[in-house]
Amino acid sequence: MDSDSPNPSSALTNTRFSDLNPSLSEPVLEALTQAGFEFCTPVQAATIPLLCSYKDVTVDAATGSGKTLAFVVPLVEILRRTKTPPKPHEVMGVIISPTRELSSQIYNVAQPFISTLPNFKSILLVGGGEVKADLKKIDEEGANLFVGTPGRLHDIMERVDGLDFRNLEILILDEADRLLDMGFQKQINSIITRLPKLRRTGLFSATQTEAVEELAKAGLRNPVRVEVRAETKRVNGHASSEQLAFSKTPSGLINEYMECEADRKSSQLVDFLIKNRSKKIIIYFMTCACVDYWGVVLPRLPVLKGFSLIPLHGQMKQIAREKALASFRALSSGILLCTDLAARGLDIPDVDCILQYDPPQNPDVFVHRVGRTARMGREGSAIVFLLPKEEAYVEFLRIKRVALAERECSDDAPDVVPQIRTAAKKDRDVMEKGLRAFVSYIRAYKEHHCSYIFRLKELEIGKSAMGYGLLQLPSMPEVKRHSLSTEGFTPVEDVNLEEIKFKDKSRQKQRNKNLQAKKEAKQQEPKSDKPNKSSKPAASIMRKKTAKQRRAAQTIEDDDELTREYRLLKKLKRGAIDESEFASLFWTWWVNCFSMEGALTLVTSGFRSSRLSRSLSYFKADVFAPFLTHKHSGPNLILCLRPISLVIRDKSRQKQRNKNLQAKKEAKQQEPKSDKPNKSSKPAASIMRKKTAKQRRAAQTIEDDDELTREYRLLKKLKRGAIDESEFARLTGTDELL
Ligand SMILES: Nc1ncnc2c1ncn2[C@@H]1O[C@H](COP(=O)(O)OP(=O)(O)OP(=O)(O)O)[C@@H](O)[C@H]1O
């Protein structure tokens, strides 16, 4: 630490752990001393005695204030009080947190304390690994404390019959607002219903939302509310009188914003990194694709040679995520490029600076991001890049008790756009990742929670694309329709984009193969299908090129969409959403509608699916006009379909569908007669309709499930180049239906 840094003890109270009342046990005090903890932080001084006195608590405290020990210490104390050591499968405590990384961190912090309990086993239960391994471990070794993420915890509780929760003493919900934001409400409710009512519950949350309050009402008994805030906020190192109010960010934090045109953002970023070479920095981007892109681009810039740059996001494999985090933790200087996956709770030592390349979609996340630095009374700085039209965000945050000081753009920043473009020309991977990142950024921008500040309409995508160092603008609807400004973008003229090769030889080989196969398939196409090509003027060739590029961009969109859909399917499977929510969020519902019999009314409102908009554009183009009995456009689009029945072209899919239909039919035949309500009084036709709808939904889910898993696999194949785009379209049936 610098000599002029504030004393780290400024984040501590004068209360020693050994002074707490009720007093802590000797082994716990010893473990605290061994870890170097003598004095309590305010949240610990307030919370530990309450939980130890069998009170439920809801805790709201600034980031980095020591919340983990505030529940780990009392948890261990409470468990120590049980008269006899627990039996191997008797679960005495559960700690739930939203992410794998956070659960794993809590598990590690808890270990020295848990080890003071005789014959006590704890287990970390998070997704990403084989559930079988967890089951085996529980079976063989037993487990008395569960620490994990809601999905896996719920799964284990469902699967293992022999677990005994009757004597459970304590439940901790960490980052409760995030748990709810991430859609884990159902699992949490289900977990809570399995636990005895006579227990202690601690609910830790940085933001008190209505949903958190509801959860507190449902899961806690007369909770005591603990709220601890940093007292002062300093801007540029000085506390101004008007900022001496309670602040949401740590007192040692210098919190700034830089107003910067979109085409200069990348240059300002690089300039910042060069000037802070010896520091440990976290950079937040909007999407996983953005992290992927900057993770490959930045190391290729000659000016950043020798910098340690580590990407981390939720679409990486679990092992890679763990490795990335461990490497960054171990560095004394280096750069972590990440999404909000690493925004909350993670306690990474000695982070000097946070750079928000893009402000977060959810403004609540802002304080969590900047809270990765200036922890426990240390100093740190944070800077957020804002576009000139986003400046109102500064005032918005001020009202939310987050003060930002202005920092000027650097005048001597090197222009890195030509360097990025050179990297893209040298490697197709960079070019493609750039397009993907850019499209995902625009999509994510649309979803900003503060959409009155971050207005898509005002976004100058030409300048943004320039800042990304793209060689061309992607063919996305906003560009095609010129609904957003493309000014400020200069396309690269001196290179044929089709000829840019992958640096990775095996990928290029695969691409060549795909191109060749495509060419051959095209040659084999019957001539009559082809419009009189030779007679076309140059302009129509241009149009054809654009269509090609459009398809490439479409694949990128599909990719993001499919990943999202796959996640939705997983959510459905683990019960986080029900079938109707799933159907309303899920595009295949549309496609499958065509295979359903009977007239159907589809109502869409606020839908943001690119596939959906594409299907809508087909409807608008009246491709499906013969099937429509009624169409009404407006903010809600209503389509009524005539009874139709389409056969799926792909034989294996049709075979699967036939199987499902057969299973449905058999299930119908086997249905016990007594289950049918008031059968005799109903006309036969209405009973038929009711039964068919029920079974149709069941069969639909099976089909959706198989279909999606299969599509996801195909998408992966497409990604690694095992199939090309036309093959993908053929196999997924999208060429036929969309
Ligand atoms: N009493 C203490 N004395 C000294 N250091 C402490 C004490 N309590 C916690 N710490 C340290 O402070 C850091 C932050 O603690 P912790 O991660 O629990 O904070 P948090 O409130 O959960 O943060 P976030 O809101 O970001 O999740 C950790 O490195 C931890 O070791």
pLDDT tens digit sequence for 551-590: 555 555 445 555 665 676 667 666 676 655 655 554 333 4
Nearest one of 539, 532, 294, 239 to 430, comparing CA atoms: 294
Q: Give the pLDDT confidence score for residue 609 in this predicted structure.
A: 38
pLDDT given at position 533: 43
Q: How far apart are CA 116 and CA 501, in angstroms?
A: 59
Tell me how far CA of residue 671 lies from CA of 597, 688, 695, in angstroms: 22, 13, 11
CB 339 within 8 A of CB 291: yes
Ligand 1 pocket, residue 376 CB under 6 Å = yes
- The residue to mutate among 347, 364, 372, 378, having the most atoms of ligand 1 within 8 angstroms of its beta carbon, is 347
CA 508 – CA 486 distance, rounded (Å): 31
Residues with pLDDT less than 70, the chain: 1-10, 230-248, 526-566, 568-570, 572-575, 577-651, 668, 670-712, 714-715, 719, 724-738
Atom from ligand 1 closest to the CA of residue 349: 29
The residue whose CA is least distant from atom 1 of ligand 1 is 40
Evaluate whether 26-228 and 253-415 have a shared fold.
yes
Produce one character per residue of 696-705: b if its CB has 16 or more CB atoms within 10 Å, e if not.
Answer: beebbbebbe
Does residue 514 contact residue 724 with C-beta atoms inside 8 Å? yes
Give the pLDDT score at 217: 83
Residue with tokens 């008190």: 208
CB of 204 within 6 A of ligand 1: the answer is: no
Between the CA of 170 and the centroid of ligand 1 the distance, in Å, is: 21
Closest ligand 1 atom, residue 63 Cα:
25
Q: Is 63 in the pocket of ligand 1 (CB under 6 A)?
A: yes
Centre a 10 Å sphere on the Cβ of residue 419 and count the other Cβ atoms it contains. Answer: 20
User: Which is the closest atom of ligand 1 to the Cα of 345?
Assistant: 27
Rounded Cα gap, residues 379 and 328, in angstroms: 19
Residues 6+ apart with CB under 8 A from 466: 262, 263, 417, 488, 489, 490
Q: Is 249 in the pocket of ligand 1 (CB under 6 A)?
A: no
Q: How many CA atoms lie within 13 A of 246 on its CB side?
A: 7
Q: Which of 390, 388, 389, 613 is nearest to 480 (CA)?
A: 613
Query: Ligand 1: does its nearest atom lie under 6 Å from the Cβ of 66?
Result: yes
Ranges of each domain in the chain: 26-228, 253-415, 707-737
Mutate to test the pocket of ligand 1, among 9, 43, 376, 378 (most ligand atoms within 8 A of CB): 376
- Condensed to tens digits (0 to 9), the pLDDT of residues 431-442 reads 999 999 999 999
Separation CA 698–CA 279 (nearest Å) = 56
The letter for the amino acid at 9 is S
Q: Amino acid identity, residue 474?
A: P
What was the pLDDT predicted at 622?
39
Report which ligand 1 atom has the smallest distance to the Cα of 61: 21
Evaluate the CA torsion angle 5, 11, 14, 16 in order and state its sign: negative
Environment class of 196 (CB within 10 Å of its CB; exposed 0-12, middle 13-18, buried 19+):
exposed
Is the Cβ atom of 216 under 6 angstroms away from ligand 1? no
CA of 230 to the centre of ligand 1 (A): 14
Helix axes 100-114, 318-330, angle to 10 degrees: 60
What's the rounded Cα separation, in Å, for the pair 209 and 79?
Answer: 31
Are 119 and 108 in contact by the 8 Å Cβ rule? The answer is no
Which CATH class for the 26-228 domain? alpha beta
Longest dimension (CA), the chain: 92
Task: Output the CA 320–ligand 1 centroid distance in Å.
Answer: 25
State the distance from the centre of ligand 1 to the C-alpha of 32, rounded, in angstroms. 13
What dihedral angle (degrees, nearest 10) is formed by the CA atoms of 151, 152, 155, 161? Answer: -140
Q: Are 92 and 169 in contact (CB under 8 A)?
A: yes
Ligand 1 neighbour 255 (Cβ under 6 A)? no
Which residue's C-alpha comes closest to atom 31 of ligand 1?
A: 66
What are 158's two structure tokens?
A: 């469902």
C-beta 97 within 6 A of ligand 1: no
Q: Which CATH superfamily is domain 253-415 in?
A: P-loop containing nucleotide triphosphate hydrolases (3.40.50.300)
| Residue 58 exposed, middle or buried by CB count within 10 Å (0-12, 13-18, 19+) | buried
> Is residue 375 in contact with ligand 1, taking CB distance under 6 Å?
yes
Distance CA 131, CA 171 (A): 22
**ipTM score for this prediction:** 0.97
Question: What residues are paired with 356 via a beta bridge?
Answer: 284, 384
Distance CA 45, CA 203 (A): 16
What pTM was estimated for this model as a whole?
A: 0.63
